Structure 1
Amino acid sequence: MNMFRFQSETESKFLKHSPVPAAVRAWLVDLLCWPARFEDPQREQAFTEDYGQRFADFRRAALVLGTLIWVCFGYWEISLARSSPVFRPYFPEVFAFRCAGALGATVGIVLAFRLAFYRDRVAHWILLSGLAFMCLCLMIQTFLAPRPFNFTHFFVGFYLILFYQFGFLRLRAKATLILAVCVIAAIVVAQLLTQAVEAENFAAGMFYLLNVAVLGHSVNVNAERHVRDRYVAVQALADSNDTLQVVNSALAQKHHDLERARRDQQTKSEALIALREQQREAAEQASRAKSRFLAAAAHDLRQPMHALNLFLAAADEALLARDVEASSRLIGEARKASVLTARLFNAVLDLSKLESGHVNPNYTSVDLSRVTAETVEQLAPFAASCGVTLRYGKAQQKPAWVRTDADWIPRVLSNLISNGIKYADPSKTGRRAVLVGVVRMPNYVRLDVLDNGIGIASEHWDAIFQPFVQIGNPERDREKGLGLGLSIVNAVVSLLEGHRLELKSIVGRGSRFSVRMPVADPFALQDAAIAPADSASSPASLRGLYVLLVEDDSLVRASMEALFARWGVLFDSVRSVAELGDLLAEIERVPDLVISDYRLPERSTASDVVRLLGEHFSRPVPCLVVTGEAGVSTQGVLPARCVLSKPLSPDLLIARMLELTEAPAQA
């Protein structure tokens, strides 16, 4: 792309419509039209600065030389006055303007050395002003001197001035042309007014003067164009040099990096081999840990399931023998085994979900004091049955707002308190106690659970947070817990942002578990008061409810139907979404609750059940999802409280059914 234009729009239009041939027009444009400014103002400014600096010394020298020549013409006038009686009367006035011109030129020289002459604008102002003044002095001399001296000795001086103006002073073409036109116009006007020069001589002089102006202008145009082209080339060369330097620096850096890489190659290879070995060892350790976890889980699940089968077999034999009392007692024991199996299975499932990343915390502002008071109230009967005093001071119960997950933090607190109750020191009869406290700090709230139990040796502090590890329970007595409580606590605290778990324990004196939680704004989103999941609820409260059951597993559906029948619940059951659609078209009563499995036949889910209910009923119908899958998400469809994991206890099912039917709008 051209960096500048060589003609103005006016000149271009004039030459375009002129009868001159195209080749001639192009030659005239190239010869006479001064170069246009660069399109980029910053580039034009940089060019003018470079132009002024480049020719500053040359212009000073030309100015000094022109002044000397002007003075030398004064000696020639003195000699002419001595030899010519005709010129002698006019000499004083003519010589006065010669001296004025010399004085003006001297002022120009002084300014050229005193001002910022390297600036092109300043240099043009000084030189053009000086040329204009010299031309004025010469014009006055020409029209003061007598004929024919005014033409033969003075008019020809204009040629020399134009030669200087267009050639030696390195002025810009546009400025010099404007000055030349003004001088020629002034000469013509002065001649028309005074008729001082003979007409024939004036015509010949003007002919030569115009030729000098045209030739000088063409020389000046080509000189400026050459300077602009050279400036563009120099800038391009400078840019190329900069690019080359950048490339050279990059190559040098790459060479340095390559050399360093070559030197470090052996070290990196060894580090990579060591890292692979560490990863292989870590993978093997993880595999062994998972295998131990699965083996321990399978062992602990087999025990209550084995007992469940035996109790049911014994109850069946008792029923055959018509021993109702014995069969009732055996069924009660079977139910205990079933509850233990469900607890263990759910604990394993919770731990698996936490460690696999399927749990997304739902942060809200939670009043830790209220949650602690509710948890202590729930566990008080269990502590009393174990002979342990459970204390939570009334002074601690003022609000303590923390940013945490309202569903998981009660589990953490319950597990820590239960752990302190289970491992009470049997030798401290009447003095066994678990203390729960809330400590408020400016930036966090600390929940402390202290006990005076058997304590934990420091070498076991890391082990107790592993699944199925129970210090002091080598016989694996399930009455002393499942060995998963602290594992779940550790997993939950690790998952929640800004939470930290601390342990201090002395063997024989007791332990202190502390959980730090970040302070929350009490006016932010607050957790809703949730009824305890383990609280005992009466099936009689469900009598008369109308429930729709969507379950594709026939065994699970039959067991749910049997429970509903015993509880006095009115129900209809289907196995798929399609069957539910047919049922909804026939029923005359809006169901109080819909219970559905998550994964249903024909690639349907509980979300399709909710959508179908919304299409058939004008008001929301509570829906409870009971699923055996891990990581099920109903976000945007149902709240987390409307999802339960299999297996679940009848008490939990009753409590959740009552909660949803008593507050259908919230559900």
Structure 2
Amino acid sequence: MNLFRLPSVSRSRLVEHWPALGAASAWLVDLMCWPSRFDDPQVEREFTVDYGRRFADFRRAALILGTLIWACFGWWEINLAQTNDLFRPYFPEIFAFRCLGVMGATVGIVLAFRLRFDRDEVAHRILLTGLAFMCMCLLVQTILAPRPLNFTHFFVGFYLILFYLFGFLRLRAKTTFLLTVGVIGMIVVAQLVTQALEPANFIAGMFYLTNVALVGHSVNVSEERHVRDRFVAVRMLARSNDALQAVNAELAQKHQDLERVRRDQQAKSDALIALREQQREDAERASRAKSRFLAAAAHDLRQPMHALNLFLAAADEALDKHDSDESGKLIGEARKASELMARLFNAVLDLSKLESGHVTPNYSCVDLDRVAQETIEQLTPFAQSRGVELTYRARRAGQKRALVRSDADWAPRVLSNLVANGIKYADPAKAGRCIVIVGVVRMPNYVRIDVVDNGIGIASQHWDAIFQPFVQIGNPERDREKGLGLGLSIVNAVVSLLEGHRIELKSAVGYGSRFSVRLPAVESPAGCDAVAPLVDVTPSPSSLQGLYVLLVEDDSLVLASMNALFVQWGVLCESARSLAEFEALLQGVERMPDLVISDFRLPELSTAHDVVQLLGTHLTRPVPCLVITGEAIADAQGALPERCVLSKPISADDLAARMVELTESRRSGVQATAP
């Protein structure tokens, strides 16, 4: 890439007929034409800044030296006036301009040290103004001095000024050339007007002055090109150094990673005899961080699973002893352990989907006031059980609604996790005074929701760590009553996934914490792609009883458990184990089903998408289909609405709520379209 644009000269004819003359003329033009600016204005600005900064001290020194030389010529004029009778009458006026030049140069020195002399444009203004002033003073001295002293003793001073201009001040070639042309023009005009110099001396002097100007200009052009080339080379070298440093840093990081992996593998090899199979699986894991995540998840899943097995075993023993009350209590405890295990498992799956990028946000217009109020209502019993006061600071009358562009499913989970976190980590020393405050602040471009508590607080060195999976600063014993250790990890993953969302944390040990989430604001629901549905479904036996459900499930254990649950709910259910059985069931069905529930992965490479296609083929009216699957990315593998997909394991209450939601939505749609 050409960094300079040198003036182009058409010389094809010269090169064709007289190659030597053409080459010489090209070199001459190249030698006398000053370099053009860089193509990129930003690069030119950086060059100008670098140029001014590099030669600032040099220019100051040159300015001081030039002033001293100018003053020394005043001493020479004093001596000349004492020894030369011809010069003595003109000495006072000439010396006055010498003193005037010293004063002007002194002003330039002061400005060079007081102003931003390291800026190239400032330095050019000061130096060019000073040189022009000196040339004017010298020209007046030349006009005032008598012949031939005005030529032999003063006119030659212009040579010295040009030498100084081209060699010491490091000015740009274009500006020095223009100043030189101006000085020569000023001399010519003064000679034509005053005839101060003898014609022969003037012609000889201008001849030499022009040669000095041409030679000095060519040197100045070459010097500026050299500086520009050096600037480009330094930039390229700096970029190469940056790239090299980046590569070195990457290699160093890889070396550290390899060293950590080596140490980890060595530690695993030492325990190979006792845990050979487990260590082989650990060695196949992609990274040490994922290994810690899986190990923590496995530990927390074993705890409720272990409790579940023991509770069921104890309940079985109680049934053998015909102790129905005790067996009922034990089964209730087993259900709590099962719900805890399902909650932990779903949290791990949610975090895995968020971090793997398999979650596609469904943006809509969300009313944060409504979300905050519903969250407060849901978590108030939990807060009361912990002795924590949960309050909500609603927006003042007249303020705009807190409407944001967010995901209607994930935004409430973010707020719920933050509020639950504040409740769990209440300060025991503040019994009776523990409080969690939720507030919504409407700003011009965003809405901020704050969750403030006066709990135990978090030390600043742990602020980053608490957003990592299974990290609980105040829970080294991993008490499940204090949470799963995944809430803030899910919050961080959701905020990172959603556009325009940001989370902030401020906390002090002993004083509490404040989590703030910023969400992009919208003026009205029209500012979003969709409006979040306001669905409030409460499952009840009466709403489920009498439903006709078709169930497609190939797993015998899951099929039996769901049939048993539907019997208790009063749900009429017919089941199929494969797509072929389901098609045969549809052909013989006598009643329009209210709902179809299907696993995602079915035998013979069939999926829930095939089930949906069969429904459209065999039924005259649309029927909602609920997919319950163990596939982590089932909702991303086709056009399945997110509200129609549930991940295993699920609780009976969640299953009932989703069934009621889908069937009620269908009934509402049918009533709306009825004539």
Scaled to the shorter chain, the TM-score interval is 0.5 to 0.7
**Residue 303 of structure 1, CA deviation:** 0.4
Note if 1:417 corresponds to 2:419. Answer: yes
- CA distance in structure 2 between the partners assigned to 1:661 and 1:637 by the alignment: 20
For 2:318, the equivalent position in structure 1 comes to 318
**Residue 583 of structure 1, CA deviation:** 0.5
- CA distance in structure 1 between the partners assigned to 2:433 and 2:359 by the alignment: 40
**Where do 1:465-480 residues align within 5 Å?**
465-480=467-482
- CA distance in structure 1 between the partners assigned to 2:640 and 2:237 by the alignment: 59
- CA distance in structure 1 between the partners assigned to 2:406 and 2:533 by the alignment: 15
- CA distance in structure 1 between the partners assigned to 2:636 and 2:515 by the alignment: 34
Deviations 1:171-194 (A, max 9, x none): xxxxxxxxxxxxxxxxxxxxxxxx
**Residue 422 of structure 1, CA deviation:** 0.6
- CA distance in structure 1 between the partners assigned to 2:641 and 2:557 by the alignment: 27
Q: TM-score, normalised by structure 2?
A: 0.58
**Residue 260 of structure 1, CA deviation:** 11
Per the alignment, do residues 269 and 513 of structure 1 end up closer, same or farther by CA in structure 2, a change over 3 Å counting? closer
For 1:387, the equivalent position in structure 2 comes to 387
1:607·1:634 contact (CA, 8 Å) conserved in 2? no
**Where do 1:295-374 residues align within 5 Å?**
295-374=295-374
Partner-residue secondary structure (3-state), 1:427: helix
Q: Which of 485, 488, 491 pairs up with 1:489?
A: 491
- CA distance in structure 2 between the partners assigned to 1:507 and 1:267 by the alignment: 41
1:536·1:651 contact (CA, 8 Å) conserved in 2? no
2:403·2:525 contact (CA, 8 Å) conserved in 1? no
Per the alignment, do residues 321 and 464 of structure 1 end up closer, same or farther by CA in structure 2, a change over 3 Å counting? same
**Where do 1:238-249 residues align within 5 Å?**
none
- CA distance in structure 1 between the partners assigned to 2:456 and 2:510 by the alignment: 5
For 1:519, the equivalent position in structure 2 comes to 521
**Residue 258 of structure 1, CA deviation:** 12
- CA distance in structure 2 between the partners assigned to 1:419 and 1:578 by the alignment: 48
Per the alignment, do residues 264 and 440 of structure 1 end up closer, same or farther by CA in structure 2, a change over 3 Å counting? closer
Deviations 1:512-559 (A, max 9, x none): 000001112413244334446xx8632342111110001111111111
Per the alignment, do residues 536 and 572 of structure 1 end up closer, same or farther by CA in structure 2, a change over 3 Å counting? same
Deviations 1:536-592 (A, max 9, x none): 632342111110001111111111111111111110111111110000111101111
Deviations 1:298-340 (A, max 9, x none): 0000000000000011101111111101100000000000000
For 2:655, the equivalent position in structure 1 comes to 653
- CA distance in structure 2 between the partners assigned to 1:359 and 1:541 by the alignment: 32
1:550·1:576 contact (CA, 8 Å) conserved in 2? yes
Per the alignment, do residues 264 and 358 of structure 1 end up closer, same or farther by CA in structure 2, a change over 3 Å counting? closer
**Residue 279 of structure 1, CA deviation:** 3.6
Partner-residue secondary structure (3-state), 1:663: helix
2:609·2:638 contact (CA, 8 Å) conserved in 1? no
**Residue 636 of structure 1, CA deviation:** 6.7
Note if 1:585 corresponds to 2:587. Answer: yes
- CA distance in structure 1 between the partners assigned to 2:619 and 2:354 by the alignment: 37
Per the alignment, do residues 516 and 526 of structure 1 end up closer, same or farther by CA in structure 2, a change over 3 Å counting? same
The structure with more radius of gyration: 1
* Structure 1 residue identity aligned to 2:374: E
2:346·2:647 contact (CA, 8 Å) conserved in 1? yes
Residue range with higher mean Cα deviation, 478-487 or 262-271: 262-271
**Residue 431 of structure 1, CA deviation:** 1.2
Per the alignment, do residues 281 and 665 of structure 1 end up closer, same or farther by CA in structure 2, a change over 3 Å counting? farther
**Residue 453 of structure 1, CA deviation:** 0.8
**Residue 490 of structure 1, CA deviation:** 0.5
- CA distance in structure 1 between the partners assigned to 2:238 and 2:626 by the alignment: 65
- CA distance in structure 2 between the partners assigned to 1:655 and 1:262 by the alignment: 65
**Where do 1:77-476 residues align within 5 Å?**
272-279=247-254, 281=256, 287-395=287-395, 399-476=401-478
Deviations 1:575-625 (A, max 9, x none): 111110000111101111000011111111111111100111111101101
**Residue 265 of structure 1, CA deviation:** 8.3
* Structure 2 residue identity aligned to 1:292: R
Partner-residue secondary structure (3-state), 1:647: coil
For 1:624, the equivalent position in structure 2 comes to 626
Q: How many residues align?
A: 412
1:312·1:331 contact (CA, 8 Å) conserved in 2? yes
* Structure 1 residue identity aligned to 2:253: Q
Deviations 1:182-208 (A, max 9, x none): xxxxxxxxxxxxxxxxxxxxxxxxxxx
**Residue 663 of structure 1, CA deviation:** 1.1
**Residue 664 of structure 1, CA deviation:** 1.1
**Residue 288 of structure 1, CA deviation:** 1.1
Deviations 1:242-279 (A, max 9, x none): xxxxxxxxxxxxxx999999999899677535423314
For 1:528, the equivalent position in structure 2 comes to 532
**Where do 1:578-617 residues align within 5 Å?**
578-617=580-619
- CA distance in structure 2 between the partners assigned to 1:484 and 1:263 by the alignment: 44
**Residue 395 of structure 1, CA deviation:** 3.6
- CA distance in structure 2 between the partners assigned to 1:317 and 1:364 by the alignment: 53
Per the alignment, do residues 571 and 264 of structure 1 end up closer, same or farther by CA in structure 2, a change over 3 Å counting? closer
1:365·1:403 contact (CA, 8 Å) conserved in 2? yes
- CA distance in structure 2 between the partners assigned to 1:530 and 1:355 by the alignment: 28
Where do 5+ consecutive residues of structure 1 fail to align?
Answer: 1-255
- CA distance in structure 1 between the partners assigned to 2:636 and 2:249 by the alignment: 44
1:634·1:640 contact (CA, 8 Å) conserved in 2? no
Per the alignment, do residues 270 and 483 of structure 1 end up closer, same or farther by CA in structure 2, a change over 3 Å counting? closer
- CA distance in structure 1 between the partners assigned to 2:443 and 2:665 by the alignment: 37
Partner-residue secondary structure (3-state), 2:387: coil
Per the alignment, do residues 312 and 279 of structure 1 end up closer, same or farther by CA in structure 2, a change over 3 Å counting? same
* Structure 2 residue identity aligned to 1:354: L
- CA distance in structure 2 between the partners assigned to 1:476 and 1:424 by the alignment: 17
Deviations 1:616-644 (A, max 9, x none): 11111011010111122368743211111
Partner-residue secondary structure (3-state), 1:469: coil
1:551·1:573 contact (CA, 8 Å) conserved in 2? yes
For 2:565, the equivalent position in structure 1 comes to 563
Residue range with higher mean Cα deviation, 280-289 or 346-355: 280-289
2:393·2:440 contact (CA, 8 Å) conserved in 1? no
For 1:663, the equivalent position in structure 2 comes to 665
For 2:645, the equivalent position in structure 1 comes to 643
- CA distance in structure 1 between the partners assigned to 2:245 and 2:525 by the alignment: 56
Identical residues among aligned pairs (%): 69
Q: TM-score, normalised by structure 1?
A: 0.58
- CA distance in structure 2 between the partners assigned to 1:295 and 1:339 by the alignment: 21
Cα RMSD after superposing both structures: 2.7
Per the alignment, do residues 395 and 261 of structure 1 end up closer, same or farther by CA in structure 2, a change over 3 Å counting? closer
* Structure 1 residue identity aligned to 2:319: L
* Structure 1 residue identity aligned to 2:471: V
* Structure 2 residue identity aligned to 1:409: A
Per the alignment, do residues 281 and 555 of structure 1 end up closer, same or farther by CA in structure 2, a change over 3 Å counting? farther
- CA distance in structure 2 between the partners assigned to 1:582 and 1:365 by the alignment: 43
* Structure 2 residue identity aligned to 1:331: I
**Residue 427 of structure 1, CA deviation:** 1.5
Per the alignment, do residues 666 and 645 of structure 1 end up closer, same or farther by CA in structure 2, a change over 3 Å counting? farther
**Residue 280 of structure 1, CA deviation:** 5.3
For 2:54, the equivalent position in structure 1 comes to none
Where do 5+ consecutive residues of structure 2 fail to align?
Answer: 1-230, 262-285, 670-675
Residue range with higher mean Cα deviation, 305-314 or 271-280: 271-280
